[in-house]
């Protein structure tokens, strides 16, 4: 089966970098994608390794990006022990569509 997603959007907030217990890094960010004038989708993304570091370095709130990756369901528990899940795009590659200094489209 194929699991591939390609989406264009703007970063909703600055990226956040995390380190795992085995000292591997990943970056999380959310992009807003306008389906039409009235419907906006907010997509959580996670990037590992060098891709994550590049995103953290070159992207900020408002940056326009094209993300290619896989859709993954992540399960977690709330503080009240309720089981929840959400879908996250695991980034395989990213194209920076904004000027890295201004965040504006070129």
Q: Tens-of-pLDDT digits for all 106 residues of the chain?
A: 789 999 999 999 999 999 888 878 899 999 999 988 889 999 999 999 999 999 999 999 999 999 999 999 999 999 999 999 999 999 999 999 987 554 455 4
3-state SS string over 9-74?
EEECCCCEEEECCCCCEEEEEEEEEECCCCCEEEEEEEEEHHHHHHHHHHCCCCCEEEEEEEEEEE
Give me the half-sphere count of Cα atoms (radius 13 Å) on the Cβ side of residue 63: 22
């Amino acid at each position: 089966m194929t699991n591939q997603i390609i989406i264009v959007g703007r970063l909703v907030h600055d990226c956040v970098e995390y380190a795992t217990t085995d000292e591997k890094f990943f970056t999380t960010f959310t992009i807003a994608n306008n389906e039409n004038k009235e419907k906006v989708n907010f997509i959580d993304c996670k990037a590992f390794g060098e891709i994550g570091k590049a995103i953290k370095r070159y992207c900020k709130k408002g940056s326009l990006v094209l993300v290619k990756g896989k859709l993954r369901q992540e399960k977690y528990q709330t503080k009240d022990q309720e089981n929840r899940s959400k879908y996250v795009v695991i980034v395989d590659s990213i194209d920076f569509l904004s000027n890295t200094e201004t965040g504006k489209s070129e």
